[in-house]
Amino acid sequence: MPYATIHGGKKLHGSIATQSTKNSAMSILFAALLIKGKVTLRDVPAINDVRKVITLLRSIGVQVDEKGKGEVAVDASGEIKIGNLDKRASESLRSSLFLFGALAAREKTYRVYRSGGCHLGERTVRPHLFALQKLGVSIVTKAGYYQVTNHPLQAADIVMYESGDTTTENAIMAAALAPGTTTITMASANYQVQDLCYFLVKAGAKIKGIGTTTLVITGVKKLHSVEEYPIMPDPIVSMTLLSAAITTHSMLTVTNCPLEFLALELCKLEVMGQKFAVTNRRKSKNGHFKVADITVSPSVLKALPDKIYGRPFPGLNIDNLPLFVPILTQAKGRTLVHDWAYENRAVYSLDLQKLGARVVLLDAHRLWVEGPTKFTAGELMCPPALRPAVNVLICMLAAKGTSILRNTQVIDRGYENLYALLSAAGAEITIQPD
């Protein structure tokens, strides 16, 4: 089990590029199962969760060729051997639930092992069941697995029981090949949902309303090969890098930031007194998203006058919310953080107390953060959730002295070469085997 040694108190400088998003990469890799032909994806992040998806796909007979520099070629035209599904990969990935939608038109009956992912309290699959059953997919929860039975697909009018990203993406995948016109209302319009839709449209799917909470999908008989599709940049990684720079009082440029999915985050920072400049506005490589470079500089911050909370797009991203906690420790005053979406995630912020943060947990969803804080070095274990884990790393970067962060593979699930990128920008981080 590797651990990181962080010599904190260093200023970051220069620029760091935003990597492509893991959430889009994983859903689009599964969506390749809808296509009996070749798909070439570019800018696929080399992270642990993506590697597990590739392992899972290969286990069921899909040809996956990793060509280097983020290029991954997928060919799902052969027979799917779902009975060979890699149990370990399936159980460790919540994204294995994408098999529900991806195989809806392809397999009659099969099992998917109960999945893992971040430990964030109850993460029910009921919204998946409610949406997919209207399209002809029956899912029964058993001890340790889900039993899936696919009936002939049919179009439907679906109201999303929960506007979740994964749930919406599953419904989109199933509807893409369902005869007739499916309307999905209360859909998530988050970045990975849009990226998936644009990929499917390139493969021949008929989807209207991309970027809104109402999607109209006319099913097609088949989808065709995709010669090239670049994965969009990750707004959560952009926010992570911005949080690291602000918390360490550094001047840093974060390049390739997807602006539409950081708009409210930047507004909150502006209200707090954070100085930043947005430059080099352009389109993403796939042509569908506005991106730019964001430069932050050391600023005197004040606490937000109102509570901060996440919500579905176009609100402040639910995964960006915890990344405000390190920033708020540097702001004068007290801010209420309301993390309503997950039962456990706010609790993990208590780990930051060991580094000197003034954090008070009010209940499982709410905490007070008071600043400004002068961090002290320490030794901690990464909490078993991605964003709270990277928060510990950010605060250790700001703490003068030597800190030890253990169980760093939690961070490796979602970030590619993060330690090397931060070190190249002035941090001092070494990774060592335990």
Q: Is 296 helix (H, G, I), strand (E, B) or coil?
A: strand
CB 31 within 8 A of CB 200: yes
Closest CA to 423 of 44, 46, 16: 16
For CATH 3.65.10.10, list the domain ranges present in the chain. 3-19+233-432, 22-230
DSSP string, 37-68: SEEEEES----HHHHHHHHHHHHTT-EEEEEE
Task: Give the tokens for residue 381.
Answer: 């274990």
User: For residue 227, is pLDDT > 90?
Assistant: yes
CATH node for 22-230: 3.65.10.10
**Domain 3-19+233-432: top CATH class:** alpha beta
Task: Give the tokens for residue 151.
Answer: 């009936």
* DSSP conformational letter for 285: T
CB 214 within 8 A of CB 184: yes
Q: Which long-range contacts (CB under 8 A, 24 or more apart) does 266-274 make?
A: 266/294, 268/304, 268/308, 268/316, 268/324, 269/242, 269/327, 271/304, 271/305, 272/301, 272/302, 272/303, 272/304, 272/327, 272/331, 273/299, 273/300, 273/301, 273/302, 273/331, 274/246, 274/299, 274/301, 274/327
Q: Is 10 helix (H, G, I), strand (E, B) or coil?
A: coil
Q: Whats the size of the chain, residue-wise?
A: 434
Q: Encode pLDDT of 379-413 as tens digits.
A: 999 999 999 999 999 999 999 999 999 999 999 98
pLDDT band at residue 118, thresholds of 50, 70 and 90? very low
- Rounded to 5 degrees, what are φ and ψ at 197? -60, -45
pLDDT band at residue 138, thresholds of 50, 70 and 90? very high
Please state the rounded mean pLDDT for residues 321-332: 98
Q: Give dist(CA 192, CA 26) in Å, integer.
A: 9
Taking the C-alpha atoms of 359, 362, 365 and 371 in order, what is their torsion angle to the nearest 10 degrees?
A: -20
CB 238 within 8 A of CB 294: yes
Please state the rounded mean pLDDT for residues 141-155: 92
User: For residue 122, is pLDDT > 60?
Assistant: no
- C-alpha of 382 from chain center: 18
Edge-first strand listing for the sheet containing 71-75: 63-68, 71-75, 38-42, 226-230
DSSP string, 144-202: TEEEEEEPPP---EEE-SS--HHHHHHHHHHHHTSSSEEEEES----HHHHHHHHHHHH
Of 33-37, 127-131, 230-234, the one with minimum mean pLDDT is 127-131
CB 231 within 8 A of CB 194: no
Task: Give the tokens for residue 255.
Answer: 């390049």
User: For residue 374, is pLDDT > 80?
Assistant: yes
Q: What is the pLDDT of residue 121?
A: 44
User: For residue 149, is pLDDT > 80?
Assistant: yes
* DSSP conformational letter for 3: E
Task: Give the tokens for residue 422.
Answer: 């931060």
Distance set, CA 68 to CA 59, 72, 73, 156, 255 (Å): 21, 8, 10, 41, 22
Please state the rounded mean pLDDT for residues 357-363: 96
Beta-carbon contacts of residue 182 (< 8 Å; ≥ 6 apart): 135, 155, 156, 157, 158, 171, 175, 216, 217, 218, 219
Question: Angle at CA 91, nearest 5°, toward 343 and 83?
Answer: 145
pTM: 0.95
User: For residue 120, is pLDDT > 50?
Assistant: no
Task: Give the tokens for residue 62.
Answer: 């899909």
User: For residue 119, is pLDDT > 70?
Assistant: no
Which letter, b or e, does each residue of 329-347 get, where b requires 16 or more Cβ atoms within 10 Å of its Cβ?
A: bbbeeebbbbbebbbbbbb
Q: Which residues pair with 385 in a beta bridge?
A: none
Q: Write the single-letter amino acid at 149.
A: T
